[in-house]
């Protein structure tokens, strides 16, 4: 939630925050170490350890940012473009 807070969630109503917290596109089951490594880092500061998952992660990340009107910094945008560049054509 730290990255979301910095991206605009601080201005949300409590209901919007609850919707975000319970959104299955936001929630992602990962092992404990990966969760700790990611913490509240943005896409420019953390990428999934498995490169094969970068495309899916970036798609989810950008979808959540768009759905909740969260800002994207220029370094985030660059990192996301790099990860989306790993997506298969089509």
- Rounded to a whole number of angstroms, the CA Rg of the chain reads 13
Query: Quick check: 83 and 50 in contact, CB under 8 A?
Result: no
Tally Cβ neighbours within 10 Å of residue 4.
20
Question: What's the CA dihedral at 85, 4, 73, 34 to 10 degrees?
Answer: -50
Tokens of 18: 């609850």
The pTM (predicted TM-score) of the whole model is 0.85
How many Å apart are CA 78 and CA 90, to the nearest integer? 21
How many Å apart are CA 90 and CA 77, to the nearest integer? 21
pLDDT for 29 equals 67
**Per-position pLDDT tens, the chain of length 90:** 677 888 888 999 999 999 988 998 887 767 778 777 777 789 999 999 899 999 999 999 999 999 999 999 999 999 999 999 999 987
Sketch the domain layout of the chain as residue ranges.
2-84
């Amino acid at each position: 939630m730290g990255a979301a807070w910095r991206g605009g969630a601080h201005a949300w109503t409590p209901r919007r925050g609850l919707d975000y917290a319970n959104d299955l596109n936001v929630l992602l089951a990962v092992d404990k170490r990966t969760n700790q490594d990611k913490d509240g880092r943005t896409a420019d500061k953390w990428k999934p350890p498995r490169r094969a998952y970068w495309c899916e992660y970036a798609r989810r990340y950008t979808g959540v940012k768009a759905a909740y009107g969260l800002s994207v910094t220029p370094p985030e945008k660059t990192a996301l473009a790099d990860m989306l560049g790993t997506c298969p054509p089509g």
